[in-house]
């Protein structure tokens, strides 16, 4: 085992050795490039596993529909922990066709972290919060879902028979691939490759930008202070930032937290409101703009409330970590 780990360390050291020989690149660019390249194998392995799961559900769409039908918010919160936004796109399409309640859709959204969680493994001291994030987001998703369905029970419309719906699986998800394409080879290995490359580019560009800004402020502490890392206002700002409908949003949130310019409650608030392309799909397919706006506002409230609860009760993270040991 020691020999295997030693060989892995040697292989991981090759990009750093080669990149450090490029004298014209600034150090902050080198750091971003080395970190991003070293993470490529782990990302591909993760996205390959996710592709297999997505492939199963798309080939057995009735199973997915059955889970949503029977478990609703609980299933939505649990499945949305998977680090990609395909299920949020599907949920938005389902909701626009009255195949699920507003609360169930909110559960899908609140529990989504898009691509943020895998990036925390870049810094193992930050990776320890992954389980607390997952648990908090699942609980927040379930509570938000049932609360919203209860508050707006008078507005609930009868849902259509989802087993009679001809679902359009040609809806674009992450990396602009079509959801239906997962059924056809060779997409089961080419899409993870595309997703990995896109994540590499997102990570490199975000890291380079953050490193450059840190350099401009002199050090991390100065930038963190400027961004009010110890203030609840940053939590609100993080929740608002998370609403940006793009896969880069979750990447930037994760890297800002890793670099120490964003607090954990702010990171969590941003992850609650992050939906990848979910909100874009909802806006596109939902016939009611006011309803889409309401869902966005409810999502923002959920993000701010969740973030502030943790901000004023940071011991919750320690309690969860002790509980799962």
| Higher pLDDT, residue 184 or 143 | 143
Looking up tokens 């918010």 gives 73
* Tokens representing residue 77 in the block: 């919160």
Percent pLDDT > 90 in the chain is 39
Mean pLDDT value across residues 169-187: 53
Every domain of the chain and the residues it spans: 26-324
Looking up tokens 């004023």 gives 312
Please list the residues that pair with 178 across neighbouring strands.
172
Which helix H or strand E contains 296, and what residues bound it? helix 289-311
pLDDT range class, residue 272, cuts 50, 70, 90: very high
Q: Are the beta carbons of 45 and 118 closer than 8 angstroms?
A: no
Helix (H, G, I), strand (E, B) or coil at 178: strand
- What's the pLDDT score for residue 164? 42
3-state helix, strand, coil in the chain (%, to 5): 75, 0, 25
Q: What is the pLDDT of residues 283-298, one digit of tens each?
A: 888 888 999 999 999 9
* Tokens representing residue 262 in the block: 């964003």
| Lowest-pLDDT choice from 4-13, 58-67, 143-152 | 4-13
pLDDT range class, residue 95, cuts 50, 70, 90: confident
Of 147, 210, 195, 161, the C-alpha closest to 50 is 195
Q: How far is Cα 164 from Cα 146, in angstroms, rounded to an integer?
A: 26
CB atoms within 10 A of CB 155: 10
pLDDT surpasses 70 at 26 = yes
pLDDT surpasses 60 at 309 = yes
pLDDT surpasses 90 at 317 = no
Q: Are the beta carbons of 310 and 136 closer than 8 angstroms?
A: yes
pLDDT surpasses 80 at 59 = no
């Amino acid at each position: 085992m020691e020999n295997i780990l030693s060989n892995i360390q040697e292989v991981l050291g090759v990009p750093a050795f080669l990149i450090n020989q490029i004298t014209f690149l600034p150090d902050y660019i080198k750091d971003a490039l080395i970190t991003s390249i070293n993470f490529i194998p782990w990302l591909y392995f993760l996205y390959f596993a996710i592709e297999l799961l997505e492939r199963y559900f798309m080939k057995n769409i009735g199973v997915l529909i059955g889970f949503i039908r029977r478990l609703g918010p609980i299933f939505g919160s649990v499945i949305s922990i998977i680090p990609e936004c395909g299920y949020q796109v599907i949920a938005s399409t389902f909701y626009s066709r009255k195949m699920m309640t507003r609360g169930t859709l909110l559960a899908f959204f609140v529990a989504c972290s898009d691509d943020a969680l895998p990036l925390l493994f870049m810094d193992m001291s930050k990776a320890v919060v992954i389980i607390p994030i997952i648990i908090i987001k699942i609980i927040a998703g379930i509570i938000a879902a049932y609360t919203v369905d209860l508050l707006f029970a008078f507005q609930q419309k009868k849902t259509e028979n989802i087993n009679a719906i001809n679902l359009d699986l040609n809806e674009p998800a992450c990396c602009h691939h079509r959801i239906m394409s997962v059924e056809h080879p060779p997409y089961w290995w080419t899409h993870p490759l595309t997703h990995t490359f896109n994540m590499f580019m997102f990570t490199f560009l975000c890291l380079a930008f953050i490193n450059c800004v840190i350099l401009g402020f002199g050090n991390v502490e100065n930038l963190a202070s400027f961004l009010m890392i110890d203030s609840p206002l940053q939590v609100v700002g993080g929740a608002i930032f998370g609403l940006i409908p793009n896969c880069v949003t979750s990447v930037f949130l994760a890297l800002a937290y890793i670099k120490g310019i964003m607090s954990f409650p702010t990171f969590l608030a941003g992850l609650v409101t992050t939906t990848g392309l979910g909100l874009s799909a909802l806006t596109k397919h939902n016939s009611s703009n006011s309803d889409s706006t309401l869902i966005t506002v409810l999502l923002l409230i959920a993000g701010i409330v969740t973030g502030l609860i943790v901000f004023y009760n940071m011991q919750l993270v320690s309690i969860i970590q002790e509980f799962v040991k």
